[in-house]
Amino acid sequence: MGECEKLQEVLESIKDACQRVGRKPEEVKLLGASKTVPPEVLRRFYECGLRTFGENRVQEFLKKYEALQELNIDWHFIGRLQTNKVKYLMKKVSLIHSLDRKSLADEIQKRASKVGITQEVLIEVNVGGEETKGGVEPENLPELFEYTLSLPNLKVVGLMTIPPYLENPEEVRPFFAKLRNLRDKLEEEFKVELPHLSMGMSHDFEVAVEEGATIVRVGTRLFGERS
Ligand SMILES: *Cc1c(COP(=O)(O)O)cnc(C)c1O
């Protein structure tokens, strides 16, 4: 199957999932999770119409950013982020999905202020409570969110999660619902709008869309198995 067919297939699945729960497909953004995928492949997907790509490693991102500079790509950063790398992302990514601690918020604030932008971010939440997963624990989420309200150059626009991997995507559903509930509670408690839920990957994005995802991060289903 060619790139454009793969892209169409994933977009169709998103559409079908939207239809099942009465959502509009335009509410869901497909992000190509493109770690390890070479720039020439990204270019082909871009030509098929995919505009949003998410990278996990700063070094790798910068190379691709450079290689594809003439394209109008909407880059996101979706991986764990070291504070000393934040400066390289400024003015290059529209959204950082992985804010998980105050020190990182402070660094984003500092760097965004320096270049005169407001950086949009998502707070990553460890909904499964797994030791190996990044993200703030749900019980510490309100405190971290409240802290970000004091940072003028950083704007939280929603939440992100990487739930536990479970063979049956239906079993992941409660974790997606949990992220949505945490978002709803923050909106109510702080009287703010947090429109985005970044959740769902190749094997479970349909369920994530049914549970309210506004950004799905799809790698394998678009680009094939990573070597
Ligand atoms: C790799 C990755 C994805 C995509 O995973 P697939 O299972 O290949 O779709 C999504 N989100 C993050 C944070 C990733 O690192």
Is the C-beta atom of 218 inside 6 A of ligand 1? yes
**Which H or E run includes 160?**
strand 154-160
Q: What is the mean pLDDT of residues 151-155?
A: 98
Q: Which atom of ligand 1 is nearest to the CA of 217?
A: 10
Is the C-beta atom of 201 inside 6 A of ligand 1? yes
Is the C-beta atom of 51 inside 6 A of ligand 1? no
Torsion angle of C-alpha atoms 71, 74, 75, 77, degrees rounded to 10: -170
Cα(95) to ligand 1 centroid in Å equals: 16
CATH number of residue 31's parent domain: 3.20.20.10
Q: Is the pLDDT of residue 144 over 80?
A: yes
Q: What is the mean pLDDT of residues 62-81?
A: 98
**How buried is residue 138: exposed, middle or buried, by Cβ count under 10 Å (0-12/13-18/19+)?**
middle
Domain that holds residue 109: 3-223
Cα(78) to ligand 1 centroid in Å equals: 9
**Number of structural domains the chain divides into:** 1
Q: What is the mean pLDDT of residues 175-203?
A: 98
One-letter amino acid identity for 212? Answer: G
Give the pLDDT score at 13. Answer: 98
Cα(118) to ligand 1 centroid in Å equals: 26
Give the pLDDT score at 1. Answer: 84
Q: How far apart are CA 144 and CA 21, in angstroms?
A: 32
Phi, psi for 96 (deg, rounded to 5): -105, 120
Going by their DSSP bridges, the two strands 154-160 and 196-198 should be labelled as parallel
Among 30, 78, 201, 206, which residue has the most ligand 1 atoms within 8 Å of its CB, making it the best to mutate?
201
| Mean pLDDT (the chain, rounded) | 97
Cα(80) to ligand 1 centroid in Å equals: 12
Query: Distance from first CA to last CA of the chain, Å, rounded?
Result: 19
Q: Which atom of ligand 1 is nearest to the CA of 78?
A: 13
Quickly tell me which residue has 């604030």 as its tokens.
109
Tokens of 108: 């984003």
Q: How far apart are CA 102 and CA 110, in angstroms?
A: 12
One-letter amino acid identity for 14? Answer: I
Give the pLDDT score at 225. Answer: 95
Give residue-wise pLDDT tens across range 88-112: 999 999 999 999 999 999 999 999 9
Residue with CA nearest ligand 1 atom 11? 217
Give residue-wise pLDDT tens across range 13-57: 999 999 999 999 999 999 999 999 999 999 999 999 999 999 999
Q: Is the pLDDT of residue 227 over 80?
A: no
Is the C-beta atom of 199 inside 6 A of ligand 1? no
Q: Is the pLDDT of residue 8 over 80?
A: yes
Is the C-beta atom of 220 inside 6 A of ligand 1? yes
Of 210, 191, 223, nearest in space to 48 by CA: 223
Q: For residue 154, what are the contacts with CB-CB under 8 A and spacing of at least 6? A: 105, 108, 109, 112, 118, 119, 121, 148
Q: What Cα–Cα distance (Å) separates residue 124 from each residue in 136, 195, 200, 223? A: 6, 14, 13, 24
Q: How far apart are CA 218 and CA 203, in angstroms?
A: 9
Give the pLDDT score at 205. Answer: 98
Q: What is the pTM of this model?
A: 0.98
Cα(190) to ligand 1 centroid in Å equals: 30
Cα(59) to ligand 1 centroid in Å equals: 18
Q: Which atom of ligand 1 is nearest to the CA of 98?
A: 13
